[in-house]
Structures are given as C-alpha cells and as structure tokens.
Amino acid sequence: MATYKVTKGTPVAFRDSAYPATYPSPHEGELFYNSSSGAFQFLGLGAGTWSSGAALNTAATATKGFGATIATSQVNGGAPNLVKTEAYNGTAWTELNNLSSGRYAHAAFGIATAGIVTGGQTDGGTAYHVNTESWDGTSWTEVNNLNEGRFKLAGMGLQGAGLATGGYDGSSYVASNESWNGTSWTEVGDLNDGRTALQGSGIATAALVAGGESPGIVAKTETWDGSSWTEVNDLNQARYTAGMSTNAVNTDTLLFGGFVPPSTANTEAFDGTSWTELANMANARYTATGSGVGSGALASGSDNNGNAATTSEEWTVASFQVKTLTTS
C-alpha cells in the first residue's frame, strides 16, 4: 500500500522507486512523489500509433460520439442516416435504437451507456436544432431544449453535467456557452472568440475547445474553469471539423484530422499548456467522430472529402511515459 505526501492540502502517492514498477495499475495523468529522486512525477502519454478499427454498419459523416475506445456510442449524421446510433465494444459495431429527431453536425457528451445529444441541423438542413435527447444505453428520451439553436457546436461533460459551446446559428459564429445540469440548460460565460466547427473535451467545470472557423480557419485554443474561458497556446495546425478524444481530461487531450484545407491526417496532443504533433492517422478525414481519452481514442466515419464512410481507426499508446514536474 502506498503512503501519501501532502502538497498544498492535496494527498499525493509517495513511492520509493520509478513508477509504475512498484504499482500494478497506472492511470493516465496520475501524480506521485518519487522519494528516490525527490521529485514530483506524473504519467503522461507515451508514443502512440493509429491502427485500423472495425467498420461501421452504416456509412456516416458529421457524426458525434461519446465514451471510451472500447465502449463508445456514435450518433450518426449526414443524410440519409440522420437518426442512427451504433455502439462499439472494442471489436465490432452494433446498431441500436434511433434518435427521436434526425440531425447532423450536433454535439454529444457522456459515456457509452449514459449520454446527451443536442443541437445540430435538421434533416434537409432547413433549421437549427434546440432539441436535446438523453441516452440510457438502450433508448433516447427527449429532454429540455437548448436556449439557442445551432450546429457545428462542441459538447463536453457527462450526462448529468455538461457544456454546449460555440457553433453557427444561420447568421453568426456563436460564442454562447450553455451549461447542462441534468435537467435544463443555463447560459454561462461566453467564449472569447465565437466560432463554429470547433472541437471540445473535458467536463462541465474543466473543459477545452480548439480549432474551428471564425470566419477563417483558426488554431485558437481556450480552456474553461467552470466560470470563464482563457486563451492558451494555439494548435500547431489550424483546422476545423476535426475529431477529438471527447472523454479526455482537458490537460491530456488528443485532436486529429480536420480540414485545413485540404483534409488532414495530422494528430496533436494537448498537455494542459501546449500542443505537440504526433503520428498521423492512416487516412486523412474530416467531420469524423472522435471519442475516447488521450491514451486510447477512436476516429470513425467520414473520408478525406467529408463524405460518409464506414472506416475507423484506433489510437493506442504502448506504454505510459513518466514525466517530472518542475517545481519552485
């Protein structure tokens, strides 16, 4: 059993050798104190690679997903498959019950058995959704609407607490940010820069958005602390409609693909401060679904032209990398 050291009121695991040799279950982002070196260390992403994943049952584009790599629900978009839902178990995709209201370029957040879908554009592209639906692992239920209809927005959080941020409402690039409390939406602090086709990850009190269009293609990144947004270091490559590891913490996030132009296979990781370019996907794609965490993500649907596709790719990290914190 590990002993603990306290730093600024927070207990931290206290270990006498390099992690994870003395500990059987390492966790991404976990902080510990190495008494041998006298340093605080944490587990960051090691070297990662993309590999081919299982094919979707139905070709999809402008989709959104939520959950981990081995337990993901994807809500399809793009005519004519606007209501489809599929679940991935790490081996194969299974079609599940449809959404109540067809849409595409929507937001989604949660875990594979408990999620929220909101916003998007309606079948036929004639209106912008305020409709919100809740997923219980089996079926969808309509719940309270967004305050502002929009599409190409970002969604972050869990079924009981999340965010819907940015997007396009038919006339403007939206800066609006709405908070979901499990029952209803409340408008909270706006983005510094309104934008559409952005991507997000994190939870309702600690989130991240990156990229998008405003109106040009942007590399801007902002972090949310539960009350306001702060601009941080930009992406290395500006893009919109990328995929992101939507269930990652906002200090360890993967972003991949998108439209530059042209479409890209580029992958970047955010460590809470800056973005680092990593191994490319095998195939360039944009408007694809992203889900998972920084050490295990999934890109599915869409091709390099943004057309509906069934292909998917999985990001895996062979091992964790021990990193030493600089303290003062």
Q: What does each C-alpha distance from 136 to 94, 101, 226, 290 come to in angstroms? A: 16, 16, 26, 20
**Cβ distance 112 to 87 under 8 Å?**
yes
pTM given for the model: 0.82
pLDDT 10s digit of each residue in the chain, 328 long?
Answer: 344 444 445 565 665 555 554 444 555 566 777 777 777 776 665 578 999 999 999 888 888 888 876 556 677 666 666 788 999 988 999 999 999 888 889 999 999 899 999 999 986 677 899 999 999 999 999 999 999 999 999 999 999 999 999 999 999 999 999 999 999 999 999 999 999 999 999 999 999 999 999 989 999 999 999 999 999 999 999 999 999 988 777 778 999 999 999 999 999 999 889 999 999 999 999 998 888 887 788 999 998 998 889 999 999 876 666 667 665 5
Q: Pairing between strand 3-7 and 321-324?
A: unpaired
HSE of 202, CA atoms in CB hemisphere, 13 A: 24
Identify the residue whose tokens are 């408007």: 287
User: Exposure of 230 by Cβ count < 10 A (0-12 exposed, 13-18 middle, 19+ buried)?
Assistant: exposed
**Alpha carbon distance 42, 33 (integer Å):** 8
Give 179's strand partners.
Answer: 163, 186
What are the chain's domains? 3-44 (no CATH), 48-317 (2.120.10.80)
